[in-house]
Amino acid sequence: MSEPNVEPSSSTAPAQQGNQRERASQLAQALREELRKAVIGQDEVIDGVLTALIAGGHVLVEGVPGLGKTLLVRALARCFAGEFSRIQFTPDLMPSDVTGHAVYDLQSEQFKLRKGPVFTNLLLADEINRAPAKTQAALLEVMQERQVTLEGRALAVPQPFLVMATQNPIEQEGTYPLPEAELDRFMLMLRMDYPSADAELLLVRQVTRSARADMLDVSALRPQLTAKDVLALQRIASDLPLDEQVLDYAVRLARSTRGWRGLALGAGPRASIALVRGARARALLRGGAFVTPDDVKSCALSVLRHRVRLSPELDIEGLSVDRVLLQLLDQVAAPRL
């Protein structure tokens, strides 16, 4: 799929825009099917990652070790004919190991900038909560501004740019909680749970047939899209029709968290923006011609769960954030189109 054939413009006829939407949706669904060949039993997480890719947001994937978090990102990188970098976060990782630094060149007798691994299209920040807050904060500027300041110079990163971070639950030993300012810059937080019995049976069968010891081989996956294709998908998704009632519903969901019983901290305006962007991406992914309230609701948990905080009494009782948010989704009225 080449960019001139899918990029919408204001002068494009409605019929042509419909064809572009259809081709873009088919490409996104082909990418989903290719990822499912490698990542078994995690369809919701795959859809969440594709939602972030189409919406142009960053994604945080949480789960205990061994569920395939890193495999998912490696599979996406294999299907994406763009630049890919990986950073293994450790307690001794320095901010300059992420963004880059200046080195002195003896021949020219000048300092030269050595760019770090953030200068890429797809960045895997593996086990991001293994590093202290100072190193985690090195990602703040690039995640928000799509640029890195080195030696006083603002250097833009390639487009598209997507950070996919993985983390083990805070209960795991040797982890550091992510600062709220950094959490808010992740558009989605996805939870990777244990697969179903049938999915695990299929997973074990395929892995034990593989030449690799304990993981699936992603080398058989075929590239499905280029960097230009991703930018075109993002533009087409951003142009999907959105009824004013659906926009109002997304904003009401985010605002409801600020005074909801059981939540000590609500979501800010970034959550409202993420709900709308995520809903447009979901609509494109399912092949829809416009955004529905169900598209908003389908990404609400992953948009809101890392932006709210439980009240101390509910936290003591052992209630989860997701449970409170599900109650909120049931009680906030959705428009009927």
Domain end call among 213, 239, 265: 239
Give the separation between CA 125 and CA 253, rounded to whole angstroms. 30
pLDDT at 8: 46
Domain end call among 205, 239, 273: 239
Query: Average pLDDT for residues 100-114, to the nearest whole number?
Result: 77
pLDDT at 308: 93
One domain, residues 137 and 272? no
One domain, residues 253 and 223? no
One domain, residues 233 and 247? no
For residue 108, tell me if it sits in a domain. Answer: no
pLDDT at 4: 38
Give the separation between CA 242 and CA 25, rounded to whole angstroms. 17
| Residue 154 pLDDT greater than 80, yes or no | yes
Residue 165: which pLDDT band, with cuts at 50, 70 and 90? Answer: very high
Domain end call among 239, 257, 282: 239
Nearest to 281 by CA among 8, 49, 6: 49
Query: Average pLDDT for residues 88-109, to the nearest whole number?
Result: 84
Q: Residue 30 sits in a domain of what CATH number?
A: 3.40.50.300
One domain, residues 244 and 226? no
- Pair of tokens at residue 273: 């923006």
Query: Average pLDDT for residues 257-276, to the nearest whole number?
Result: 93
Query: Average pLDDT for residues 42-50, to the nearest whole number?
Result: 92
What is the rounded average pLDDT for all residues in the chain? Answer: 86
Query: Average pLDDT for residues 182-200, to the nearest whole number?
Result: 89
One domain, residues 48 and 194? yes
pLDDT at 39: 84
- Pair of tokens at residue 315: 């936290």
DSSP-based helix, strand, coil % in the chain, nearest 5: 50, 15, 35
For residue 114, tell me if it sits in a domain. Answer: no
Q: Which domain holds residue 172?
A: 3-94+121-239
For residue 11, tell me if it sits in a domain. Answer: yes
| Residue 42 pLDDT greater than 90, yes or no | no
16-23: Cβ within 8 A, 24+ apart: 17/239, 18/289, 20/236, 21/236, 21/240, 21/284, 21/289, 22/287
Percent over 90 (pLDDT), the chain: 45
Query: Average pLDDT for residues 114-142, to the nearest whole number?
Result: 89
Helix (H) or strand (E) holding 236: helix 227-238
Query: Average pLDDT for residues 226-240, to the nearest whole number?
Result: 92
pLDDT at 212: 59
One domain, residues 233 and 245? no
pLDDT at 167: 87
Nearest to 69 by CA among 167, 185, 171, 197: 167
Query: Average pLDDT for residues 49-64, to the nearest whole number?
Result: 92
Highest mean pLDDT among 79-93, 135-149, 205-219, 283-297: 283-297
Higher pLDDT, 16 or 191: 191
pLDDT at 1: 45
For residue 101, tell me if it sits in a domain. Answer: no
| Residue 215 pLDDT greater than 60, yes or no | no
One domain, residues 136 and 269? no
pLDDT at 13: 64
* Tens-place pLDDT, residues 290-312: 999 999 999 999 999 999 998 88
State the DSSP code for 170. Answer: T
- Please tell me the least confidently modeled range out of 64-78, 84-98, 229-243, 273-287: 64-78
Nearest to 285 by CA among 80, 48, 29, 34: 29
Count of structural domains within the chain:
2
One domain, residues 152 and 265? no
Helix (H) or strand (E) holding 113: strand 110-115
Contact 271, 229 (CB under 8 A): no
For residue 69, tell me if it sits in a domain. Answer: yes
Residue 275: which pLDDT band, with cuts at 50, 70 and 90? Answer: very high
One domain, residues 194 and 307? no
Query: Average pLDDT for residues 34-53, to the nearest whole number?
Result: 90
One domain, residues 230 and 291? no
Q: Where are the beta strands (DSSP E) in 174-217?
A: 188-191
Per the listing, tokens 């947001």 go with: 57
Residue 210: which pLDDT band, with cuts at 50, 70 and 90? Answer: low
One domain, residues 220 and 295? no
Higher pLDDT, 301 or 206: 301
Give the separation between CA 113 and CA 99, rounded to whole angstroms. 10
For residue 268, tell me if it sits in a domain. Answer: yes
| Residue 325 pLDDT greater than 50, yes or no | yes
Q: Residue 302 sits in a domain of what CATH number?
A: 1.10.8.80
For residue 21, tell me if it sits in a domain. Answer: yes
101: phi then psi, degrees, rounded to nearest 5: -160, 170
One domain, residues 13 and 155? yes
pTM for the full model? 0.86
| Residue 50 pLDDT greater than 80, yes or no | yes
Angle value at C-alpha 163, between 161 and 165, nearest 5 degrees: 170
For residue 100, tell me if it sits in a domain. Answer: no
